[in-house]
Copies of this chain bind each other. A is one copy, B any other.
Amino acid sequence: MTQVFPTPAAHAREILAKLGAPPLPADAGEPVRGPIDGAILGHVVYDDARQIEAKVAAACRAFADWRVVPAPRRGELVRLFGEELRAAKADLAALVTLEAGKIASEAAGEVQEMIDICDFAVGLSRQLHGLTIASERPGHAMRETWHPLGPVAVISAFNFPVAVWAWNACLALVCGDPVIWKPSEKTPLTALATQAILERALARFRDAPQGLSSVVLGARDAGERLARDPRIPLVSATGSTRMGRAVAPMVAERFGRSILELGGNNAMIVTPSADLSLALRAIVFSAAGTAGQRCTSLRRLIVHESLVDKVSDAVEAAFQRLSVGDPRDPKTLLGPLIDKAAYDAFIAAMNQVRAEGGSVAGGERVLIDEHPDAYYVRPALARLPAPAPCMQRETFAPLLHVVPYNSFDMAIAIQNDVPQGLSSCVMTNDVREAERFLAAAGSDCGIANVNIGPSGAEIGGAFGGEKETGGGRESGSDSWKQYMRRQTATVNYSGALPLAQGVRFDL
């Protein structure tokens, strides 16, 4: 690395101050380590039970006021937030890089996604369309209206430390719901910075209720507390399948709603008709981008047997060429893993591949001397003769498994034969393959692409997946409905009292 950067800790402190976040405690609280050098970026103090209770109670009070603010006016707050995000884009993106390790372009893309969802939510604020419905009874008007739901808890993961919250928060705010955010223990600083940016918008907006948005810092127990709280009708949780499996029943037991965005195990099918140059770029970006730490990262490559060696060789070569290093360096394409646990899981996964008969190329740790406490690795390509148990699990690291297929039906079967169901794609120029992949008997994932990698969704569509991915949908389409309650109303203006289905009950 030729460019000289400030230490991550100093850099982070400077940005937080610039964005108006409250100063971090000098030395108390929990340390937050940055992945660039593994050093402590700062400390934060976790909320205790009383503080969480106060934030939930404040959100409940805020709800009583916010729900009757007209939705287009609520949209105005989100519009102002979008303006503030545009102004703070570079700073917030830089903090994302420091805390989550993303390269600059991806960090900027993440903040852009926050801005996009603001614009989208503002548009929604004059829609939130329910229905008028034809009634079978004369002199009756039937309609379905969507009303604000109540405080929404957002539990987010380190790998999209701000965008996923924004997807939820912007919709929730427009829908009339306060938001309580528990960020990952690994990325509290970006959460505090984001909240500070939102405070600017709140100040300009003037008359929003206190407690409309709050950040709860803490570990697993803080999340559980929110999941179990009956005053929180919706919990939107992003993270591992293990986390989701624990959270979902807690929420369900109290009749709350969950939006679960859990693990993916995303595949690409490469067919003989594919544009291989396009495919190669898509593979490398989606497998190695974000150091393989996207929930939509490519994990499994299913290549027609006639091409599997050629494609594998090309991917292996491209993996070798990728520049690994400080994510602040514009030349870097691959930043660090988030922490040692991630590195250990990476090593374990590669070992399992080998134990199950596969071979692994790449995956070496690099920059050890410069950063003994940080974990930079080369992406790894695991070649397997056929699908193996090691391919059933998601490992949050740049590890790509490749297997051959011989019929398109077999390729789809391999694609679907994992417990997760987030994202999937096919590289093909054949319209029949493309449409079969997108049809009822095709990919069983929530996201299915043709001639694009599995990652990089747009905010206009609904984001999320099936099976162990949890079934949640966020962002576009009608995802907003989850943040509201539906009411079916019938108004009888007839002066008579006919019953539906022709029932008679004459007194």
| Chain A residues in the interface with B (C-beta under 8 A) | 64, 67-73, 75, 79, 105-106, 108-110, 112-113, 116, 119-148, 176, 233, 244-245, 248-253, 255, 257-258, 260, 262, 275, 278, 280-282, 284-285, 289, 318, 321-322, 333, 428-436, 438-441, 443-452, 456-463, 466-471, 473, 476-477, 485-497, 499-505, 507
Closest chain-B Cβ to A80's Cβ sits at a distance in Å of 11
Contacts of A443 in B (CB 8 A): 487
Closest chain-B Cβ to A341's Cβ sits at a distance in Å of 24
From the candidates B134, B449, B469, B496, name the one contacting A489 in the complex (CB within 8 A): B449
Contacts of A132 in B (CB 8 A): 129-132, 143-146
Contact (Cβ within 8 A) B440 A491: no
Q: How far is A149 from B146 in the complex, measured between Cα atoms in Å?
A: 26
Closest chain-B Cβ to A204's Cβ sits at a distance in Å of 13
Contact (Cβ within 8 A) B105 A505: yes
Given contact pairs A253-B249, A289-B505, A495 touches B130 in the complex (Cβ within 8 A): no
Question: At the interface, is chain A mostly helix, strand, loop or mixed?
Answer: mixed
Contacts of A502 in B (CB 8 A): 108-109, 112
From the candidates B141, B445, B450, B460, name the one contacting A126 in the complex (CB within 8 A): B460
Contacts of A257 in B (CB 8 A): 471
Q: In the complex, which residue of chain B has the Cβ closest to the Cβ of A487?
A: B448
From the candidates B144, B148, B459, name the one contacting A440 in the complex (CB within 8 A): B148
12 A-B pairs within 8 Å (CB atoms) are namely: A68-B440, A70-B137, A72-B458, A109-B500, A112-B502, A129-B133, A144-B461, A244-B255, A289-B505, A430-B430, A431-B450, A446-B488
Q: How far is A146 from B440 in the complex, measured between Cα atoms in Å?
A: 8
Closest chain-B Cβ to A180's Cβ sits at a distance in Å of 19
Assembly of this chain: how many copies? 4
Q: In the complex, which residue of chain B has the Cβ closest to the Cβ of A72?
A: B136
Contact (Cβ within 8 A) A258 B252: yes
Closest chain-B Cβ to A87's Cβ sits at a distance in Å of 12
Contact (Cβ within 8 A) A67 B441: yes
Q: How far is A275 from B493 in the complex, measured between Cα atoms in Å?
A: 11
Q: How far is A231 from B146 in the complex, measured between Cα atoms in Å?
A: 32
Contacts of A244 in B (CB 8 A): 255
Q: In the complex, which residue of chain B has the Cβ closest to the Cβ of A434?
A: B431
Contact (Cβ within 8 A) A503 B431: no
Q: In the complex, which residue of chain B has the Cβ closest to the Cβ of A146?
A: B132
Q: How far is A490 from B128 in the complex, measured between Cα atoms in Å?
A: 15
Contact (Cβ within 8 A) A458 B495: no
Q: How far is A154 from B347 in the complex, measured between Cα atoms in Å?
A: 45
Q: In the complex, which residue of chain B has the Cβ closest to the Cβ of A492?
A: B451
Given contact pairs A460-B142, A488-B463, A495 touches B133 in the complex (Cβ within 8 A): no
Q: How far is A260 from B122 in the complex, measured between Cα atoms in Å?
A: 29
Contact (Cβ within 8 A) B503 A106: yes
Closest chain-B Cβ to A429's Cβ sits at a distance in Å of 6
Contact (Cβ within 8 A) B491 A431: yes
From the candidates B75, B141, B289, B501, name the one contacting A435 in the complex (CB within 8 A): B141
Contact (Cβ within 8 A) A126 B458: yes
Considering residues A433, A436, A444, A477, which has the most beta carbons from chain B within 10 angstroms of its beta carbon?
Answer: A477
Q: A64-B441, A67-B440, A452-B490 are in contact. List 15 more A-B contacts (CB 8 A).
A: A119-B122, A128-B134, A131-B131, A136-B458, A249-B252, A285-B499, A285-B507, A429-B430, A431-B451, A448-B487, A450-B491, A457-B488, A461-B488, A461-B490, A462-B486
